[in-house]
A and B are shown apart, each in its own frame.
Chain A
Amino acid sequence: MQTQELIPHLFRTEYSKIISVLCRRFGFDQMETAEDIASDTFLTAAQAWSYKGIPSNPTAWLYNVAKNKAKNHLQRNTIFESKVSPEIKTDDAYEQDIDLSPKNITDSQLQMMFAICHPAIQPEAQIGLSLRILCGFGIDEVAEAFLASKETINKRLFRAKEKIRNENIKIEMPDLAEMDNRLENVLTTIYLLFSEGYYSVSQNQVLRKDLCFEAMRLCHMLIENESTNKPPVNALLSLMYFHASRFEARTDQNGGLILYDDQDTNLWNQDLVAKGAWYLNQATTGNRLSKYHLEASIAYWHTQKTDTKEKWENILQLYNRLLQIAYSPVAALNRTFALAKANSPREAIIEAEKLQLTGNQFYYTLLGELYTGIDNKQAKFNFQNALTLIKTPADTAIIQSKIDKLQD
């Protein structure tokens, strides 16, 4: 790999490790310092490698430079503080302080994950911070993922860091008693991160997939750690694998969305389906049925190519249970679609109209679909309502083609 390719690659994988270790050592109040040192390390690498060539072990090189920069920072601080406290540490003491061993990196990253996913921080800021700190995304990439300006993202991250300082959030693992609750917050953020990629408004396909795979990587980290390897974590990973299996099938060459019913099932990735099934199996220990268990089971049925009544009856019953423990408009609409497939479209129309999700484009799209063939005038009316709420040209094209087919 050439320097110009290698550095972004390493940045993605190593930046978050360096930051996590440094933040844990310095404390959250010096997060900016940790970020500066990490960024500075990569700048040094870019300069040095371009004329000296790439070192034989680039990662070790980066850690070494980061460690030296951190030591310098600590020393400078100590010299300043030593006017108050005469105790001066030896160079060796700093050497042990900045611990970039694999174990400490993993521990620091896990602790950082819990700190960022603290309930006191807004969900949007949690995702932004996760992308920046845990996944090593550049500000440009975070901005593109959110379709927001760099200024907006910088402000959002700044406010989130301020919040972390004000709330005095510690970089540490939660107590065992608190673990399940805090883990739930972490899972919510990971799932939001995944959804941000999966349903993103951004047209950048590579970036969107990166987001999804990063969410899965964070979930993998939780599973590899004994205290966080819990059934809901496995269920969430399973769910993400099932969704990811349709990556190639769900968009066309121009980035337009291909709906589930119209996808080429040969493009569904069976390796990812098998991985999803494996983690779903891992999730069946314990006696608590989380929403991720139900969503993963629903996603499992969606990986089945046959369009049978049995499939839709299973999906319907899973949605019936999911809605009882975790209502969401999207689940309500999907449940109604399953009802049409398992029972009848006429029954589903009655149920759909009770939902009254009149601000939601998918509510009208669903009604349009259900009325198609039963009452085309009503179908057209609903599709047109959907058009007024739609935000992307790709979605507009899909709905417009549905209306055109009605007029045939």
Chain B
Amino acid sequence: MDEFVLIFRHEDGNKVASPEQIQIWMKQTMDWIGGIAAQNKFVSGTGLPFADAKIVGHGGVVTNGPFGEIKETIGGFITVKADSVEEAVEFAKGCPVLQGDGNTVEVRKIAKNDGVH
């Protein structure tokens, strides 16, 4: 069984939705993750708050951002166990982030420390 990371890319929810709406998304996200964990396929994960985000560039230049208005901003990720990328994609399809037009979940296999990858 391989491990895959599901990376959520979306706008900063706080900028586009009410606290009540955010509450609903939070519950949906917790239920989605709970459903994966109930299949014993959850490994780990975390949200990434947009506040206090910095970009460190070439030569140590520090700028603010990435900016949450951009839909490609990473808002969090989880790592799951799956037999195939197809199974990981099925998990990703349930991610509540995808309710937002333009938002995406990127599915990437985690390299094994076996000297080949």
* Chain A residues with a Cβ under 8 A of chain B: 313, 316-317, 319-321, 323-324, 327, 331-332, 335-336, 339, 343, 351, 354-355
- In the complex, B51 has a CB within 8 A of chain A: no
Beyond A316-B34, A332-B38, 17 additional contacts (C-beta under 8 Å) are A313-B27, A317-B27, A320-B33, A320-B37, A321-B30, A321-B34, A323-B42, A324-B33, A324-B37, A324-B42, A327-B37, A335-B38, A336-B38, A343-B31, A351-B35, A354-B38, A355-B39
Cα of A336 to Cα of B35 in the assembled complex, Å: 8
Contact A320 B34 (CB under 8 A): yes
Report the contact-size class of chain B (Cβ under 8 Å from the partner).
Answer: 10 to 19
Residues from chain A with a CB closer than 8 A to the CB of B18 are none
- In the complex, B113 has a CB within 8 A of chain A: no
Residues from chain B with a CB closer than 8 A to the CB of A354 are 35, 38-39
Question: Nearest CB to that of A336 among chain B residues?
Answer: B38
Contact B39 A320 (CB under 8 A): no
Residue-wise interface mask of B (32-51) relative to A, using a CB-CB cutoff of 8 A (1 in contact, 0 not): 01110111101000000000
Cα of A198 to Cα of B62 in the assembled complex, Å: 59
Number of residue pairs spanning A and B whose beta carbons lie under 8 angstroms apart:
44
* Chain B residues with a Cβ under 8 A of chain A: 27, 30-31, 33-35, 37-40, 42
Question: Nearest CB to that of B43 among chain A residues?
Answer: A324
Residues from chain A with a CB closer than 8 A to the CB of B40 are 327, 332
Query: Which of B30, B33, B34 has its CB near the most chain A CB atoms (within 10 A)?
Result: B34
Cα of A324 to Cα of B35 in the assembled complex, Å: 10
Contact B37 A323 (CB under 8 A): yes
Contact B38 A355 (CB under 8 A): yes
Pick the 10 closest A-B CB pairs, nearest first: A320-B34, A323-B37, A332-B38, A327-B40, A324-B37, A320-B30, A335-B38, A351-B35, A323-B38, A324-B42
Question: Nearest CB to that of A351 among chain B residues?
Answer: B35
Contact A335 B39 (CB under 8 A): no
Known: A332-B39, A332-B40. A323 touches B34 (CB 8 A): yes
Residues from chain B with a CB closer than 8 A to the CB of A351 are 35, 38
Residues from chain B with a CB closer than 8 A to the CB of A332 are 37-40
Question: Nearest CB to that of B30 among chain A residues?
Answer: A320
Cβ distance A349 to chain B, nearest Cβ, rounded Å: 13
Cα of A343 to Cα of B30 in the assembled complex, Å: 13
* Complex A-B: 17 CB contacts under 8 Å: A317-B34, A320-B33, A321-B34, A323-B34, A324-B34, A324-B37, A324-B42, A327-B38, A327-B40, A327-B42, A332-B39, A335-B38, A339-B34, A343-B31, A351-B38, A354-B38, A354-B39
Cα of A313 to Cα of B34 in the assembled complex, Å: 13
Query: Which of B30, B33, B35, B40 has its CB near the most chain A CB atoms (within 10 A)?
Result: B35
Cβ distance B95 to chain A, nearest Cβ, rounded Å: 15
Cβ distance A294 to chain B, nearest Cβ, rounded Å: 12
Cα of A335 to Cα of B36 in the assembled complex, Å: 12
Residues from chain B with a CB closer than 8 A to the CB of A320 are 30-31, 33-34, 37
Question: Nearest CB to that of A329 among chain B residues?
Answer: B40
Contact B38 A317 (CB under 8 A): no
Cα of A319 to Cα of B42 in the assembled complex, Å: 13
Question: Nearest CB to that of A338 among chain B residues?
Answer: B34
Cβ distance A166 to chain B, nearest Cβ, rounded Å: 34
Cβ distance B97 to chain A, nearest Cβ, rounded Å: 17
Contact A339 B31 (CB under 8 A): yes
Option from B30, B37, B39 in Cβ contact (under 8 Å) with A317 = B30
Residues from chain A with a CB closer than 8 A to the CB of B30 are 317, 320-321
Cβ distance B79 to chain A, nearest Cβ, rounded Å: 11
Cβ distance B83 to chain A, nearest Cβ, rounded Å: 13
Residues from chain A with a CB closer than 8 A to the CB of B37 are 320, 323-324, 327, 332
Question: Nearest CB to that of B37 among chain A residues?
Answer: A323
Residues from chain A with a CB closer than 8 A to the CB of B33 are 320, 324
Contact A316 B31 (CB under 8 A): yes
Cβ distance A163 to chain B, nearest Cβ, rounded Å: 30
Cα of A317 to Cα of B35 in the assembled complex, Å: 11
Cα of A317 to Cα of B30 in the assembled complex, Å: 7
Cβ distance A388 to chain B, nearest Cβ, rounded Å: 24
Question: Nearest CB to that of A328 among chain B residues?
Answer: B40
Cα of A332 to Cα of B42 in the assembled complex, Å: 12
